[in-house]
Amino acid sequence: MEMSLIALAAITLVYILFLFKFLIKKNHGSRNLPDGSLGLPLIGETISYLRANKKDQAIQWIDERVAKYGPVFKTSLLGTPVVFIVGLAGNKFLLGSGEDVFATERPKRIADLQGENNIFELSGSRYRLIKRAMLSFLKPESLQNYVKRMDDLVTDSLSKEIKGTDTEIKTVSFMKKLTFNVACDILFGIHDEATKEAFLDDFHILFDALGSFPIKFPGSAYSKGFEARARINDRFLPILTKKREGLSSGNSSPTDDVVSCLLALKDENEEPISEQVVVDNFTLLIIASHDTTATLLSLMVWKLAQDKKIHAEVLKEQMDILREKEAAKEGEGKLTWADIQKMKYTWQVAQELMRMIPPIFGTFRKAVKDLNFGGYDIPKGWQVYSVSYATHMEKDIFSNPTEFDPSRFDKSSKPIPPYAYIPFGAGLHSCIGNEFARIEALTTIHKLVTKFEWSQVYPDEKFTRKAMPYPTMGLPIKIQPRISP
């Protein structure tokens, strides 16, 4: 009986594989599709790609296919056919084209977790409406008002976490908590500690689901992600209701926080946007504003522990700023917008880290019509993916690309071509929170290097990539207050 079932399963699998290949050939047989393999039906090459990601070997996974098929190749991931385009021309094509060529839609299994109404999935007038609202909080003119508050939040987080000498903390967990707290406080006006902790636990589950195998079955990371997303929605709706009541009564203003701003929006028909649009963009902004910055900050702590020369240069720049402030006796020692602008070398270190270990591995777009690139046909509805790391490590763009050299981001250095350096994307849909991330990262590093010293518990700790790159053990460090000279 068991042998019969196994034989039946094998025959069924072979039949599905044959049918899958037949349909692909029937639908696209006359087209010049890129070389490559679509893998197994439904699964595609998802398993091998996720396995490579977990081992931080996604670059090798791509390089193997580039060597075999060329810089434009096809595969299938997350149940969707995907064309990878590797190189500067591909970046320009993908990121520089208009909405009549590409939609920002990502594979459905990703969009389902984050919500189909978030800004990454929108286009046209609805995209511009939501983007304009968010930019009112994230543009430099607005961010200048947040620096001192950010200083307070970072200082408070550090004082709660670091007690006396030789405190051991897990950097990744700490940075995730810190950046989540900053986002909740400044962007969303959420201050209750119990609410934030509950949100944070579920966002961690949701984020893990984004890097998991996208099949729903009881107990899977992907299914847990949907359960976490449902709890986030349920927990957020009372907050949304309270903010709407505040707007109606005049006790709050659309300028108070991003949620209030979105609730006050009217579309082209003078209708308010739906609650689900607000919820989906809250979810997306939390993920974008705290996970990417937490990754960058973890990488900076790691680099400063590893490289004494880089650490010394960063420390000198930050101590000079601190001494200037103490001499001027300004603002009770709190950072200002002017101080942030002086942190040029520290930000160059951050830029170089994002070049060599980009937090966002690449960018998905969806073809809205039949396209042609590099002599190959790309059918309407297929996903197209550009790889950040490819141009970041291109020797014709960055000399000695494997060398860590922050000076390459100095204004006097060789200009970097458009679409070559893309940690925050590029073009119409580039990241709108990059300046917020810069201020948060520089504020945190300033407080860390001027007040504390640290060393890695495991100097040879490896990296993994669960959507974003992280040290496998969470980067535990021993940290203690800096002894004044």
Over the stretch 106-155, which tens digit does the pLDDT of each residue have? Answer: 777 777 888 778 877 777 788 888 888 888 888 888 889 899 999 999 99
Summarize the chain as % helix, strand, coil (round to 5).
55, 10, 30
Q: What is the CATH number of the domain that holds 40?
A: 1.10.630.10
Phi, psi values for residue 156, rounded to 5°: -65, -45
Is residue 4 one of the residues assigned to a domain? no
Is residue 182 one of the residues assigned to a domain? yes
Q: What is the pTM of this model?
A: 0.87
pLDDT at 397: 93
> 209 with 111: CB under 8 angstroms?
no
Dihedral sign of CA atoms 319, 323, 326, 330 in order? negative
> Which pair of tokens denotes residue 227?
């359960």
pLDDT at 1: 46
- Cα separation of 162 and 169, whole Å? 8
Is residue 391 one of the residues assigned to a domain? yes
- 262, with CB counted inside 10 A (0-12, 13-18, 19+), is buried
In terms of residue numbers, what domain contains 112?
A: 31-481
- Taking CA atoms, 146 is separated from 120, 154, 163, in Å, by 25, 12, 27
Is residue 450 one of the residues assigned to a domain? yes
Distance of CA 319 to the CA centre of its chain: 30
> How does DSSP assign 99-155, residue by residue?
TTTEE-PPPHHHHHHH-TTSTTT--HHHHHHHHHHHHHHHSHHHHGGGHHHHHHHHH
Give which of 269, 302, 267, 261 is closest to 285, Cα–Cα: 261
Full pLDDT tens readout for the chain, 485 residues: 444 444 444 444 444 444 445 445 445 555 899 999 998 887 899 889 888 888 888 889 999 999 999 999 999 987 889 999 999 999 999 999 988 899 887 777 777 888 778 877 777 788 888 888 888 888 888 889 899 999 999 999 999 988 877 899 999 999 999 999 999 999 898 988 899 999 999 998 988 888 777 778 888 888 999 999 999 999 999 999 999 999 899 888 888 888 888 888 887 888 888 888 888 888 888 887 778 899 999 999 999 999 999 999 999 999 999 999 888 776 567 899 999 999 999 999 999 999 999 888 888 899 999 999 999 999 999 999 998 888 999 999 999 999 999 999 997 778 899 999 999 888 877 888 889 999 999 999 999 999 999 999 999 999 888 778 889 999 999 999 988 65
Is residue 420 one of the residues assigned to a domain? yes
The span from the first CA to the last CA of the chain, in angstroms, equals 79
Give which of 133, 138, 124, 137 is closest to 263, Cα–Cα: 133
- Cα separation of 346 and 405, whole Å? 12
Is residue 18 one of the residues assigned to a domain? no
Dihedral sign of CA atoms 73, 75, 81, 82 in order? negative
| HEC assignment per residue over 436-465 | HHHHHHHHHHHHHHHHEEEEECCCCCCEEE
Is residue 467 one of the residues assigned to a domain? yes
Question: Number of structural domains, the chain?
Answer: 1
> 380 with 398: CB under 8 angstroms?
no
Is residue 301 one of the residues assigned to a domain? yes
Q: At a CB cut-off of 8 Å and minimum separation 6, what does 125 contact? A: 267, 268
